[in-house]
Amino acid sequence: MKSLSKILEKWEPVIGLEVHAQLSTDTKMFCGCRNMYGDPPNTHTCPVCLGLPGALPVANEKAIEYTLKLGLALGCKISLKSHFARKNYFYPDLPKGYQISQYNEPLCLGGSVTIRQNGELKEIPLIRIHLEEDAGKSIHSADEKGTKIDFNRCGVPLVEIVSAPEIRSPKEAREYLIRLKQILQYLGICNCHMEQGNLRCDANISLRRKGEKPFGIRTEMKNMNSFRGVERALFFEINRQAGLLESGKEVVQETRLWNESEQKAEVMRGKEDAPDYRYFPEPDLVPMVITEKQLASIRSDLVELPHEKEDRMLSDYGIRLNDAIILASDVHLVDYFEQIVELGVDPQEAVKWMLGVMLRVLKDEIYIIESFPIKPNRLATLLKAVGNGIVNINTAKSVFQKMLTSDKTATQIIKEEGLMQVSDSEKLRTIIEGILLHHPDEVSRYRDGKKGLFGFFMGQIMRKTRGQSTPKIVKEILTEILDGNKT
């Protein structure tokens, strides 16, 4: 394989992504069946989603609202009149023989997703966002004959977000996907569990000679199951297409399946064109009419987008961009942060704690922030105790560990276990004098000039006070006793 940088000297990648996101509504798109992942197969089905004769679909209002929410958040033009269309194709997981989708007049047109590349904001324009229904799931197992089909997923509301071919590198593609996922999470309209198939991406890519305008012939890749997978699949395809083009051959427009274990994309089928699907307006559903009033109400409770949140964290709390990016990457994490700051914790201390202690605990002990046992008010009390010098940071870490498995407040644990820092200087002085009396030899060697023994005394004192003494005060008293004339 040629090195990528060598290829990129001559060829420019042109990438467009089609992302399918399942909407987290309670029920399916056109029937009252529950929209639920992980239940026993075929337990959420009815005549509508099984495509039985005579069954009639009714559109899910919530799904339409969610789509509009996304469209408005991304600055799309909303079609006030919109309709569903039948997309006809035969596949075992599609019992009706067609998918209800949108063709002309999708709900949302245009708009963009803002990404950050090397610190700079860049807008990736969108072509459209439309609403459709998911298909069922075919289950092929190696040791059993045949294919089993689970129709629980059949009819789950799905939005398709189609980017313009304006993405210029695999890294940019990954960044776009990360942002889009964050946005869906911020808006609370998709669960975004890739392993459950909530979020799926097809990647279209072509190469053009650097400096040229017209696009080359593209291929489409499917079946990537992570954002890294998309990035790797794009690298693979850049290499393959460059190889063809440089040896004077043509790229064939086709759909390829990414094989993660072999790290290559294999031909799946030639690319269908729209006429193959014989689209026509869905006769069983009335056209959708969206009112300005409806849009105004959705617009009024739109939330900040991730990149806006990051910028505001810099200006409101003075924290570093990199830290803001980590916090804002998860809407629940950044909510948690803002809650403890609201409760009076210093933002810098909150960042230090959340990035330094909390993220590790979340990861090592496999908690998710939404159900984290220490709620913001409990952590705020603990961090304020650190700020007020009641406990030091190390004690706070052990209190934090205890709070994970107990309902007690930080204050209770600190009191019950006597963990307050010993900063009462008379009490400290007595302890220090006791220790020095136990080490007469070291004291005289210190006074004879072995100043390195200072650390030894500090260590003894910290151990005796179980790390709860304030080092600065200990140092002061110790210096005074050792270097002064007292014995």
Is 240 a binding residue for ligand ADP by CB under 6 A? The answer is no
Window of 29-37, 166-174, 335-343, 404-412 that interacts with Zn ion by CB under 5 A: 29-37
Main-chain phi, psi angles of 21, to 5 degrees: -125, 125
Main-chain phi, psi angles of 149, to 5 degrees: -125, 135
CA triplet 290, 292, 298: central angle to 5 degrees?
A: 85
49 binds, among Zn ion, ligand ADP, none (CB under 5 to 8 A by kind): Zn ion
Is 46 a binding residue for Zn ion by CB under 5 A? The answer is yes
Length, in residues, of the chain: 487
Does residue 194 contact residue 228 with C-beta atoms inside 8 Å?
no
Min dist CB 251 to ligand ADP, Å, is 10
In the complex with ligand ADP, the residue whose CB is nearer, 269 or 415, is 269
What number of chain residues touch ligand ADP (CB under 6 A)? 14
Is 91 a binding residue for ligand ADP by CB under 6 A? The answer is no
C-alpha of 172 from chain center: 16
Between CA 75 and CA 126 the distance in angstroms is 10
Min dist CB 44 to Zn ion, Å, is 7
Q: Is 147 strand, coil or helix?
A: strand
Min dist CB 15 to ligand ADP, Å, is 6
Map the footprint of ligand ADP across residues 153-182, applying CB under 6 A: 162-165
Map the footprint of ligand ADP across residues 1-60, applying CB under 6 A: 14-18
73 binds, among Zn ion, ligand ADP, none (CB under 5 to 8 A by kind): none
In the complex with Zn ion, the residue whose CB is nearer, 96 or 378, is 96
95 binds, among ligand ADP, Zn ion, none (CB under 5 to 8 A by kind): none
Is 215 a binding residue for ligand ADP by CB under 6 A? The answer is yes
In the complex with ligand ADP, the residue whose CB is nearer, 73 or 124, is 124
Min dist CB 32 to Zn ion, Å, is 7
Q: Is 115 strand, coil or helix?
A: strand
Does residue 67 contact residue 195 with C-beta atoms inside 8 Å?
no
Helix (H), strand (E) at residue 73: helix 61-73
What number of chain residues touch Zn ion (CB under 5 A)? 5
Does residue 192 contact residue 257 with C-beta atoms inside 8 Å?
no
State how beta strands 254-259 and 219-222 pair: parallel
Is 204 a binding residue for ligand ADP by CB under 6 A? The answer is yes
Window of 11-19, 47-55, 270-278, 335-343 that interacts with Zn ion by CB under 5 A: 47-55
- Provide the 10 A C-beta neighbour count for residue 70: 26
Window of 30-38, 55-63, 280-288, 449-457 that interacts with Zn ion by CB under 5 A: 30-38
In the complex with ligand ADP, the residue whose CB is nearer, 204 or 469, is 204
Strand runs labelled E in 134-218 = 137-140, 147-150, 157-163, 199-209
Q: Report which residue type is found at 477.
A: I
Min dist CB 85 to ligand ADP, Å, is 13
Between CA 48 and CA 95 the distance in angstroms is 10
Helix (H), strand (E) at residue 462: helix 453-464
Min dist CB 81 to ligand ADP, Å, is 21
Q: Which of 31, 290, 328, 341 binds Zn ion (CB under 5 A)?
A: 31
State both tokens at 160. 């398709």
18 binds, among ligand ADP, Zn ion, none (CB under 5 to 8 A by kind): ligand ADP
Min dist CB 274 to ligand ADP, Å, is 6
In the complex with ligand ADP, the residue whose CB is nearer, 62 or 222, is 222
Is 33 a binding residue for Zn ion by CB under 5 A? The answer is yes
- Residues with Cβ within 8 Å of residue 351, at least 6 apart in sequence: 317, 319, 323, 327, 337
Between CA 204 and CA 173 the distance in angstroms is 11
Is 419 a binding residue for Zn ion by CB under 5 A? The answer is no
Min dist CB 204 to ligand ADP, Å, is 3
State both tokens at 456. 């030894």
206 binds, among Zn ion, ligand ADP, none (CB under 5 to 8 A by kind): ligand ADP
Q: Is 353 strand, coil or helix?
A: helix
In the complex with ligand ADP, the residue whose CB is nearer, 204 or 392, is 204
State how beta strands 264-270 and 254-259 pair: antiparallel
Window of 203-211, 227-235, 254-262, 368-376 that interacts with ligand ADP by CB under 6 A: 203-211
Is 110 a binding residue for ligand ADP by CB under 6 A? The answer is no
C-alpha of 25 from chain center: 20
* Ordered alpha helix ranges (H), 303-452: 306-317, 321-328, 331-342, 347-353, 359-364, 376-387, 393-404, 410-416, 425-438, 440-447
In the complex with Zn ion, the residue whose CB is nearer, 13 or 57, is 57
Is 333 a binding residue for Zn ion by CB under 5 A? The answer is no
Is 290 a binding residue for Zn ion by CB under 5 A? The answer is no
Would you tell me which residues interact with Zn ion (CB under 5 A)? 31, 33, 46, 48-49
Would you tell me which residues interact with ligand ADP (CB under 6 A)? 14-18, 162-165, 204-206, 215, 218
